[in-house]
Amino acid sequence: MRYPLTSLSNGARCQCGGARDDHGSVALGDYFSTAIVNRWVSAQHSSEYPTDAFGELQFAGASKRHSYYLRLSWDTQASMVYTLMTAHWGLSAPNLVVSIVGGEGRTKVKTWVREVLRQGLVKASQSTGAWILTAGLREGVGKCVGEAVRDHATAASSVSLNKVVALGIAPWGLVHNREQLVNPQGSFPAKYHVQNTSRDSCCLDNNYQAFLLVDDGSVERRQETGFRAKLEDYISHQRTGIWGSGSIDIPVLCMLISGEASKLERVDLSLKTSMPWLVLAGSGGLADFLSDVLENLSSAPTAQSSSEGDGEAGPSVDLKDRVAERFKKHFPSEAETEKLVERALSIYQNRDLITIYHGEQESPNEFDTVLLKALVGASKHRASVDDSPYNEELKLAVTWNRVDIAKSELFNGDIQWRYEDLEDSMTDALVNNKPQFVRLFTENGLNILDYLTYGRLENLYRSVADGTVLYHLLQRHLVERLGYAAPAPTLNLQDSTKGAAENVYSGRVTDISLFEVARVLELLMGDVCQPFYYEALGLEQISSKRRALRKVLRGDCVYREKRCLFPWASLFIWSVLQNRSEMSTFFWEMAGESVLSALSGCKILREMSKLEAEAETKLSMKELAQSSCYRSDESRSFTLLIRKSPGWGGTTCLQMGMGADARLFFSHDGVQSLMSQIWWGDMKRSTEVWKLLLAFFCPFLCYTNLIPFRKHNDPHQEDEGKPSDDGPGRDSDSLYGTTIFSFSDIKHM
């Protein structure tokens, strides 16, 4: 680090803010001779070295939980930092990022601002799975956010609530006791003592999950804003959902609380990248100035700028004077007003991206709706003309899993939704396990027959999370397929990315295809039913697995654009394989063939339970199979038990029940009744036992009227099946409906 002196320091302090004695000999050397350095610039007067402060942080005496931390240069690439946080630190990718600007220093935070942060921001962030970005120091708004996150984390007992990630981005030179964090080999953990003893520095807050300590060579200065803005911009271009499978980019919202006049540059630069802002009017400082300008000067006209010759419209002279007047009113002690007023005028030109929030007048409980409307307003500003004006609002509601907002604001009957508007959001809801939205979309215009093609079904299986049983099964059969395509017998998944074979499905050769899905289902279902999806793949007539693989690899199967023949059953299988019980139940309701579908789910879960415990869901599937249909209609349930289903490979409920080893299913009254009816055949169940014994020893009596038989076309027989008020004295055959099944009936069905 170089050491340019200031005229006011008298040689004791560098322009970087550090003391002369803290600099090394290289920085103190006279390398400039008689040259005079009037201004210290980080890029010119500092040198970069590998970081010497990283790892985990433990706050001694304050918290048992460890926080991640990293000291990094101010010009570090945002992509590297984001990958570090999500891939190595294990922070969940956000569905929303709220970056709080202002409210720094030791000034007291107003009571209503504290309530907005506690009851509004943190509560809304918890329901959406958000990151909250502050300086992460034990002062001002950063301390209030840390306390609010801590309180909500303590009170939240439901696993359904998403965890809020509080991320501190602080200047390294402003952190008190920062020398405790230094260890070139990394600290796991570093012991950090919280004690504020200096007016020019501040301790880190122990309620934050991670810290990025930005170092530009300066000391006791706030110079992290540039890196923070770059990180916000990078995150705003990443996709939400599992592995970026969401339908929108991660929404990022900057929130201004109070703030000094110098923050005008920060606001202006973010607005030029179309970053939306939420300004808390009444919080003081810059927030009050901007709300005053945007609300009271909103009707001011714009005129042709006299100083510009390019024909661009600019602010009128009158508007500039009025802004300058208000600036002096809010910041009377500021010296360089001209540049700051120009910044304010530039902000005024992007006022569509700014939302003013009057926290003293509005309830903090509605803050999630305020966030949604602020982001939607900014999205509409950036959206193309062809897009539906409600598309972004819908995508945000899906991302945050707020079906209540979607029902009240978007699906209240006032909007005519097109299929194209719901398609992407439906995929987002499926992949990210949001069954309430799946149900909502299917009830409001999305036709599942048009939506689910075999290609889209493939993509759903490709979205399966790593480490699950289904993922490993798919990968096992993928390796098997790649083994036939590889020139060498020792091909593995990593080597296959270099392979010579091209993917026949216009993708990479290592992509999961419908063939792997069919092989997994064949493994789980066994010979209970015919293989799934072989007809779509064109393999129904091929018995040899080797020949089938070769045909798939040759690209003879053109199926991706075709509609799935049984969409609800296919989605039911997909959800059961991932143990998504609520979504599976919905698809089970829609698929039809309730008993067979439930038994199939039981069979799949039983096979997968040998690899991983899924006992609770398996029992619930059994309950669905056993009771629902029999309670509604006895005779129809008997028909369903022996009916061959084309959607389930030509199998019957009885065959599937045997394959699933569903003993509780066979012990159910409905199944036992069917088995008894099959045993009795056309004989009346009221036949006395002594008649049966007599006919057994004297077979010729069967040709007499000793044993009564029922006739299927007998009109009086139907009357026997109708309910009567005769109580126990009625014919017991009526208990089992009007249809009598025999072994020959089952054979021909």
Given a cut of 60, is residue 259 above it in pLDDT? Answer: yes
Over residues 444-467, the mean pLDDT reads: 90
Q: 6 vs 183, which has greater pLDDT?
A: 183
Q: What is the pLDDT of residue 210?
A: 94
Burial of 119 (C-beta count, 10 Å sphere; 0-12/13-18/19+): middle
- Poorest-pLDDT segment among 253-257, 440-444, 591-595, 619-623: 619-623
- Report how far apart the first and last C-alpha atoms of the chain are (Å, whole number): 88
Instruction: Return the ∠ at Cα 666 (arms to 660 and 670), rounded to 5°.
Output: 130
Confidence of residue 617 (pLDDT cuts 50, 70, 90): low
Over residues 496-505, the mean pLDDT reads: 37
Given a cut of 70, is residue 552 above it in pLDDT? Answer: no
Over residues 315-330, the mean pLDDT reads: 85
**Token pair for residue 373?**
């409307």
Distances (CA, A) of 218 to 32, 52, 181, 196, 743: 20, 17, 17, 20, 89
CA torsion sign for 562, 567, 569, 572 is positive
Q: How far apart are CA 183 and CA 143, in angstroms?
A: 27
Residue 267: half-sphere exposure toward Cβ, Cα within 13 Å: 35
Over residues 403-410, the mean pLDDT reads: 85
Note if the bond before 715 is cis, omega within 30 degrees: no
Confidence of residue 636 (pLDDT cuts 50, 70, 90): low
Over residues 441-461, the mean pLDDT reads: 91
Q: What is the pLDDT of residue 280?
A: 93
Q: What is the pLDDT of residue 732?
A: 37
Confidence of residue 730 (pLDDT cuts 50, 70, 90): very low
Over residues 695-723, the mean pLDDT reads: 62
Q: 622 vs 357, which has greater pLDDT?
A: 357
- Specify the 3-state DSSP secondary structure of 189: strand
Given a cut of 60, is residue 499 above it in pLDDT? Answer: no
- CA torsion 264-265-269-275 (nearest 10°) is -30
Burial of 329 (C-beta count, 10 Å sphere; 0-12/13-18/19+): exposed
Radius of gyration over every alpha carbon of the chain, rounded to an integer in angstroms = 35
- CA torsion 255-261-266-269 (nearest 10°) is 110
Quickly list DSSP for 701-748: GGGTTSS-B--TT-HHHHHHHS--S-GGGS-GGGGG-S----HHHHHH
Q: pLDDT by residue (tens digit) across 643-666?
A: 666 666 667 776 666 666 666 666
Q: What is the pLDDT of residue 718?
A: 38
Mean predicted lDDT score pLDDT of the chain: 75
Q: How many residues does the chain have?
A: 749
Residue with tokens 């509780």: 664
Q: How far apart are CA 411 and CA 610, in angstroms?
A: 43
Q: Pairing between strand 54-60 and 66-73?
A: antiparallel
Q: Are 557 and 551 in contact (CB under 8 A)?
A: yes
